[in-house]
Each structure stands twice: as C-alpha cells, then as structure tokens.
Structure 1
Amino acid sequence: MLKKSVLLISFLIIISGLALFVQWIGYEKTSMASKEANVRQEINVEHNEAGLTVKHTFTRLEPGEPLEAIMPANALQASCRKEEGACSFRGQSIKIIPEGDTFSVTYSIKLPSFQTAVFLSDWSIKLKDAEAERTVLHFTEKQIRKGRWFSSLGPSQLKKLDLIDYYQFQGEGEPGVLYWQMPPLQPLFPEGKHAVYGQADSQLDRQQLTLIEEGIKEKTVVLLTDQHPPYVSDRLILARDDDQLFELAESFIQEKVVEDYRFEEGEDWLGYLITSYKLGRPAGSEKVKMMYGSLNKQLTDQEKEEWQQALLRLTDKTVTAERLDQALSAVKGLDTDFFVENKLENHPFQSLVFYDNRPITVNGSETELRAVAEGEQLFFPFTETLQALGYEVKELTDGKTLLVKREYNTYRFYLDQNRFILNEERYGLYEHALRSYNGRLYISQQWLQKIFLVAVQNEKNINVQELNL
C-alpha cells in the first residue's frame, strides 16, 4: 500500500511539473510575441498656425496586450480615446492597453519660427517593445504652402488643392524625420532607385548615385541643398554638393562591405581596400591608400580586373591576410606576403613585393631563398645568397658599407655611391644593381653573375652555380 502511495505521489508530481513547464513555454512564447510584435502605423499630421497637430494610430495590436512607447519631448496636450482602451503617461513614456487591434494617440507640437528650412527629428511616437512594420504618413499643409516637405519614409505623393497641400509618405519602419525647405528644388532624376532634387543648374555625378544605390534597399530621396547640414538615413539624404555625395558613396559602400564580408578579428580595416575597388578610387586610411596605389602600379590592366573579381568572390569564407595573399598570388602567378606583412593597421607600410615561386639551389644545395621578380629581372637576397656561396658578409659601423670576404677576395660595397672595391680595385655599379625591398638588400641576377662569377639557370628550378675558372 505504501509503495502504491509513493508511486501515485511521484506520478502526480511529474504531471504537475509537466503542466507548469507547458505553462512556462506558453508564457515565454507570449512574451516573445509581445517583444517581437510588428505594428503598423497610420499618422495624420496637420500643419496649422499652432504648429503640428498629430493623430498617431497603431494597428494590428493584440487586444489587452500592453504597448509602451516614448512621446516626443515637446509634445503637448497628449490624449487617448477611452473607447479604444486605456493609456497612462509618465514623463515622456506612454503605456497603452488596447481593447481592440487599433489605438490612437493625439497631441500637438509647437514649431520654431520658420526660416528657409526646418528639420524635425523628434516629432513622432517611438515604440519601445515592438517594431513598426510599416508607416503611412498623411501630411496636410495649411500654413505655409510655399516650399516643400520631405520625409525619411521616402518619396511622396503630392497634391496641391485649393486650400491645402496634401502629401502622402509610406515605407517600412518608423516615420523618421521631416524636412521642409522654402527655396524650390527641381526633380533632377525622378526615376530609378533615387529621386534626386536640386537646383536647376546643379552639377551631379551619376557615378556617385550608382555607388550609393549599392548600399540602399528602398527608393531614396536625395536632396542637393545648402539650406541644412548633411543628413543620411535609409531613404533620405541631404548633401551640399557632389563632394559630399562622393563622401557618402564611400560610407555606403563600406557599410555594404561590412555587411557582405567576414574579416579576421583585427583585420576588418582591410575592408576599405575592397571598398576602394568598388569605388574605383582609394578610400580609408593613408595605409589603405598606399596599398591600393601599390597594387594599381604593379598589376596590368588584365590583372587588375582579375584581382577585383577575386575580391568579389571572397564573401563565402572569413577574409584573412593569408587568403588575400593567396588570391593575389594566383592572379599574378608569383608569391607575395603583402597582406600578411601589412595586416597590423598601425604598423609601418610594407611595399608590395612579388617573389618567384621556384625553389632556389646554390651549388646544388637546396635553400630557403626567394628571389624577387620585377618585370623580367630577378633580384636575390644579398646577404643570404652570398652566405650560401661561402662568403662572410658584415655591415660596417657607418651603416652604408658592406664588407664581403672569402679566402683571398675582399669586397667593399658602398651602398650610397653605386660602387664597390675588389681587392683595392674600384668598380662602378649600375644604379639598380642593388635594391632594397622593405629594408632588405637584394642584388640583381646580372650583377650577381658578373661580380661573383656564378651562373644562374632559370628552368624548373633556379640554380646558382659557381663557375670553375
């Protein structure tokens, strides 16, 4: 009997626990649904002598589900309709409990005296625990019928009637800002992904607009105006002139690069190099600009095109300095450590150097040497190559002279004078016989052969072989 009672109690505990768990899951789902609720909004605004009169209507609400929002800082005479539910105000906060799926809040906003332009950023209610899926804004202008209103919801439909101007704006998300300007703006490019307004004589570079289009998702209004400082949102851009559009294009493309590419931690600044190629001009820090310039200088036109295509294909994996070097090496057909050597943004710039990828042997022995390939010429690391040939290489205290010795031969190379001395006999050097790449000295193949009497065979491997004279 006792055993049956224990089993029964255990069974009841399990059932109760399951019931509580199911209730908790339901509560969590309800809570998450509340937080992720997508509300639609219809806003009616009238501009009259007193300022703005606003009726902000929320739709697709959950009956009885609280909704919290923030009122504009300068909102006056805020009220709700009791037949639609309950609302309470505390400072700028408002809590709404709708009885149905619709709830309206009305208020007024006193505007500053109108000059030649007005920019309103804090005029509408902003949701706290939900997102505005879509907003329709009806704007009635009764007070000042000169000039024109614009909204960051995007392009407007405008009707000029006998007594009022009527605008309708609509788009995804919050209503954003309102902008009014007295000096007339003409539609310059009303079609396409941009609706561009400016003075009739505005000079506009279409390439900048094309680049900006890559970073926007909806049709955007672009205003070329000197009446207000620059402003950028998803669907409204205020710019003074082409120069500011030039800067905006850079920021839009960089945002798109950040969105499309994943970079190794600490190397995300290299994204500006991709931005530079999308723009067709250097962008970002001085180091990025130097890297971009080096690549343009050392790649042929065909290689530039292949390199740009290689960059566009790097969106599938994390971009690292090593991957960039691999992609560049594949395009050039030569090895490089350019990005690895430059991956620390605040470290000094290292020049672009391409290395012949064939192994090098010296007198038949394998080495770790790499020859720099520049055009049709090869340059060998000076110290390491001579050491592999059995020479002793020493830098003298002045830092501009190298002493090279083996058996009975002694060489002195004067690095700042294009000359050397062999056993007290003076010889001249061509200007580019010795070169420095990122602080490391190299000697050309021709002068390596002439001075140190070796033959260099460039076949499947590179073989440096002393001549038996």
Structure 2
Amino acid sequence: MSKKSILLLVFLLAVTSGLLIWQWEIYSENTKENLKHQMEQAVQHITIEATGKELKVTQTVTGLGKDKEYQILKPDHLFRWQCIDGYEENCKSFSQESHIFLADKGELRFTFVIPIQQQSAFLLTDWTTTIKNVDIKETTIDIVEKEKRDSTWVAGLPQTGYERLSLIDFYAFKGKGGTPSIYWDPNPFEKKTLSKSLAIYGNPLFVQSNSYQIPELMGGEEFIAIIYTDSVNPYTGQGIKIVSPSSQVEVIERELMNDYYFKKFLKLSKHEQWVIDLLTALTLETPPAHPKSEFMLAELSLYMTEKERKLFLQAVQKEEKLINFQMLNQMLGNSKGLETTFFSANQMEESEWTPLFFIDQRQLIVNDRITSIHIVHRKNQMLLPFVETMEAMGFQVKSDDDIFYVSNTKEQYTFFLNQPIFTHNGTDFGLLENPLYEEIAGVYITNKTLQTIFRVSIIEEQLSIVLKNDSQGK
C-alpha cells in the first residue's frame, strides 16, 4: 500500500471515529437533559444555629407535589434527624419502606444536629438531606452565631447579608443550585468581592493585596468563594475553594479555569482532558502544560487570527448546553466561516496529531462543470487536491512515488513532492516555495501556485468557487 493510500485511510478512519463518538455524545447529552427535565424543581431554606459544640440545622424544602410521597436520602453523620410536614407534625408515610414520606402542603422540613470540634476550623460537605428525583434550583442559608462572635462563616453561595447584633452575628447567603459547602474559621476574615460569582476571603492585608485577572469570565451562575487559610488542607468543594496563603495567584487562576471548563463538558475521559488545559491556556494566555494541548495551541495561534480565537472562546463560554468535541468543531469553524474536524480528529490523547485545516463547503466549478472537489484552507492558504483538480482541468496525471507527471495534448509537466522545482515541456523551473504539499490526507496545490503555473483564473462567489483554465486548448 502506498504512503498516500495509508494517509487517506488514516484520515477516513479519524473522521469515521469522530462521527461515531459525536453520535454517542449527542445520545448521552440528550439522555442527561431528558433526565434533568424529568426531575421536579424545588427550593430550600436552611437555617443553622451555631451553639459552640453543635450546629442545629433546619432544612425546609418547598415547591414539592402536594400529598405526594418522596424518598429521602440522608448522610449517616446527621444526628437527632427528624422529618416534619407542613402541619408541624412528624412526616407521614403510606409505604413500608423507610425514609419515604408524604409532602403535606407540598413541603418537607428536616431538623438535625451536626457535632463540631471546639475551637477548630472545619469544612462541611454533603451535610444536608436530599430528595430523590428532586432538583433544588435555589438555596437560601441563614446562619446564627451565638458564641464565637469573632469567627467567620463562608458558604459556597453569594453572601447577601451580615449583621452584628447585640447577642448574635447573623449571616445570609442565597444563590442558584443545591446545598453548597460551608466553612467556619475561628478567626475574623475579610471578604473581597471580585464579581457577582467570585469572592475571596482571608487575612485583611492578604486579601487586599491579591487580585485576579478573570472576574469578568467567572460571571456565570455558579459561585465560587476562594478562602486563603492554613487552618485546613487545600480543598475544592461545592462553591468553595480552600487554598494556602502561599499559593501563587497564577496557579489558582489556572485551577479555577480548569474547574470552570471541566463543568462545561458533558463527559471527559482521562484521555480527553487535555482539552481543558488548552482552553485554560487560550483564556489566560499562558503556556499549556500538556504536550497535545501545546501542539493544538500552536496550530490555533499560527493559523487563526487573535480575533478568530477570541470569537471561538466566547462561543465556548456562552454555550449553555454541555459541550462535546463536535460542538467545539462547529464553534471553531464558525469563527472562521468554514468547517473543520480539528477537535474530533485530535480527541483522544494518544491519537496521531492532526493539523488544523478548514473545509470550504462551496462548490468548485472547473471550466463550467460542477465537481465534487472540496477545497481545504490551511496556513491561510487555499489548497486544492492536486490530482483531482488536474483531472478536472483536462490533464492526465501519473505518479511514481513522490514524482507526478501531468500532461495533455499540448503540455507536459513534472512535479516533485516537497521540492521547489518543476519542469514544463522539458524546461526546468525553480520556485520560491514548493508547488505541492503533502497535507492531511493527500497532495495539494495552492491557489496561487495553480494560477501562476497553469494560468488559470479563480473567482470566489458566495456559493461557489469558479476555476477557468485559460490555457486549455492552446
């Protein structure tokens, strides 16, 4: 099998694999979206009363179906747990299964206690009751601190209020989504709001001396609170990111962007996660950490303008649906006004690196005849499949490894692959660049070289590209 045949086979396999993966991703995405729509929507209000050694929690979920039974799921570390209905009575159940309760008045209330260590900072995750097949679309949290008046409470939701009263400190948080992580520290922190969805907490002098370059991007619906502290180990929870005060801002920015983009994808295997590194590098304009994303970034930087790259990133950031590699193809192609398979062809980390090219879907008309030839754009050049284009122009083409013999009744040409020379009717000619390129899955000739050597005219129209062989028949 010749080298060109192998390249073509590899290209076709890459395209076919990309289509199969895309179809599976679309199926998975639709399944996930359908399941989400099947879930009931509800809101919850959580009140925490901090009494020193324990937290007394009341969690009220409203907007449920009236007189409908629900299965309750609760963590094992919740003590003195109770379920109370809308009539201030213990929840009723007509089921023999445990933790299935009736929502009188469309409401369920849970009360429980969480023991805490005296004087020690702590982070709460997975600390409330959940209801099966119910999606909490909004959460409000009120915290009443009675004893540790100089401490700090932080929730993974926007803080909507704080009031220091004569006997208590009162904190209020509210935001979209379910239960966030909660952090308490015995020390007073200062809060610095960078955007509606990004805030930092920590030592007052430290907080004021640190700033981030991405608050405008972190302006979506998901909130993140960055807490600088050594009281607990670094951790990323629901809406909270705990970092060491010695952490560099650049490192945290990269981690934030990685988390941001990771949540935008439907699903990523470990062999596909290089794309997160690429998007983060594009956004922060920093070098990528992964070899494959380094190659991808080099291709995008060389063959797309800064404006086109920004249009691509904006499309990714504004997309509300979960993203897959086929959608990245479409976003990248739209920024150029063409089509591409760049991302799906390079989807797997171990797959062969495929260069960036764009496919022009306009019809190629050669000497008034419509062809099935697709023009490719690469390196800001228009590339035409060499053999197919020559044959459409009325030439015969024969090849011997890297040598191509092109002829008609009047003219004979010889081309050498990847060499800046050719012969015309027995005369040798030199060029400033190679007339032929081995790209993607075959041998191509640029539109400029085609016009220079074969004296053709190329007219670009909205729906077609017209090529006329002015030397035909001469």
* TM class by smaller structure: 0.5 to 0.7
**Contact 1:137–1:175, Cα closer than 8 Å, also in 2:** no
Partner of 1:247: 255
Return the alpha-carbon distance in structure 2 between the equivalents of residues 411 and 437 of structure 1.
21
**Contact 1:87–1:95, Cα closer than 8 Å, also in 2:** no
Return the alpha-carbon distance in structure 2 between the equivalents of residues 151 and 309 of structure 1.
29
Return the alpha-carbon distance in structure 2 between the equivalents of residues 59 and 124 of structure 1.
11
Secondary structure, aligned partner of 1:208: coil
Partner of 1:185: 189
**Contact 1:188–1:197, Cα closer than 8 Å, also in 2:** yes
Q: CA deviation at 1:99?
A: 9.4
Distance 1:355 1:291, change over 3 A: farther
Return the alpha-carbon distance in structure 1 between the equivalents of residues 49 and 187 of structure 2.
22
Listed one character per residue, the Cα deviations across residues 204-243 of structure 1 (whole Å, up to 9, x for unaligned) are 4544222111243xx654424454333243x544455533
**Contact 2:163–2:170, Cα closer than 8 Å, also in 1:** yes
Larger radius of gyration: 1
Partner of 2:469: 464
Distance 1:56 1:449, change over 3 A: closer
Q: Greater relative contact order (Cα 8 A, min sep 6): structure 1 or 2?
A: 2
**Contact 2:201–2:228, Cα closer than 8 Å, also in 1:** yes
Return the alpha-carbon distance in structure 2 between the equivalents of residues 382 and 245 of structure 1.
47
**Contact 1:151–1:169, Cα closer than 8 Å, also in 2:** no
**Contact 2:41–2:135, Cα closer than 8 Å, also in 1:** yes
| Residue identity in the other structure for 1:437 | E
Q: Does 1:432 align with 2:434?
A: yes
**Contact 2:195–2:216, Cα closer than 8 Å, also in 1:** no
| Residue identity in the other structure for 2:435 | A
Give the structure-2-normalised TM-score: 0.61
Partner of 2:218: 212
**Contact 2:395–2:406, Cα closer than 8 Å, also in 1:** no
Listed one character per residue, the Cα deviations across residues 369-413 of structure 1 (whole Å, up to 9, x for unaligned) are 5566679976543323444443331133xxx44455668987654
Distance 1:408 1:350, change over 3 A: same
Return the alpha-carbon distance in structure 2 between the equivalents of residues 407 and 385 of structure 1.
17
Q: CA deviation at 1:463?
A: 1.3
Listed one character per residue, the Cα deviations across residues 256-310 of structure 1 (whole Å, up to 9, x for unaligned) are 687xxxxxxxxx99x9899779947599997777666545544456666777788
Partner of 1:17: none
Return the alpha-carbon distance in structure 2 between the equivalents of residues 101 and 355 of structure 1.
57
**Contact 1:86–1:97, Cα closer than 8 Å, also in 2:** no
Return the alpha-carbon distance in structure 1 between the equivalents of residues 59 and 363 of structure 2.
73
User: Which range moves more in the overlay, 94-103 or 432-441?
Assistant: 94-103
Distance 1:366 1:301, change over 3 A: same
Return the alpha-carbon distance in structure 2 between the equivalents of residues 59 and 377 of structure 1.
60
**Contact 2:382–2:447, Cα closer than 8 Å, also in 1:** yes
Q: CA deviation at 1:456?
A: 1.6
Which of 214, 224, 227 is equivalent to 1:223? 227
**Contact 2:234–2:242, Cα closer than 8 Å, also in 1:** yes
Distance 1:167 1:246, change over 3 A: farther
Secondary structure, aligned partner of 1:201: helix
**Contact 1:342–1:350, Cα closer than 8 Å, also in 2:** no
| Residue identity in the other structure for 1:246 | R
| Gap regions ≥5 residues in structure 2 | 1-38, 267-271, 461-465
Give the paired residue count.
404
Partner of 2:171: 168
Q: CA deviation at 1:52?
A: 0.5
Q: CA deviation at 1:255?
A: 4.3
Secondary structure, aligned partner of 2:76: coil
| Residue identity in the other structure for 2:215 | L
What CA RMSD, in Å, does the superposition of the two structures yield over aligned residues? Answer: 5.6
Return the alpha-carbon distance in structure 2 between the equivalents of residues 450 and 101 of structure 1.
78
| Residue identity in the other structure for 1:151 | A
Q: Does 1:54 align with 2:65?
A: no
Secondary structure, aligned partner of 1:394: strand
Q: CA deviation at 1:54?
A: 1.5
| Gap regions ≥5 residues in structure 1 | 1-34, 259-267
| Residue identity in the other structure for 2:432 | Y
Return the alpha-carbon distance in structure 2 between the equivalents of residues 415 and 100 of structure 1.
79
Q: CA deviation at 1:313?
A: 9.6
Partner of 2:20: none
Return the alpha-carbon distance in structure 1 between the equivalents of residues 46 and 318 of structure 2.
43
**Contact 2:451–2:457, Cα closer than 8 Å, also in 1:** no
Secondary structure, aligned partner of 2:366: strand
Partner of 2:28: none
Give the structure-1-normalised TM-score: 0.61
Return the alpha-carbon distance in structure 2 between the equivalents of residues 215 and 69 of structure 1.
27
Q: CA deviation at 1:464?
A: 1.7
Secondary structure, aligned partner of 1:249: helix
Return the alpha-carbon distance in structure 2 between the equivalents of residues 160 and 237 of structure 1.
26
Mapping of residues 433-452 of structure 1, within 5 Å: 433-444=435-446
User: Which range moves more in the overlay, 412-421 or 271-280?
Assistant: 271-280
Q: Percent identity?
A: 17
| Residue identity in the other structure for 1:121 | T
Return the alpha-carbon distance in structure 1 between the equivalents of residues 376 and 41 of structure 2.
62
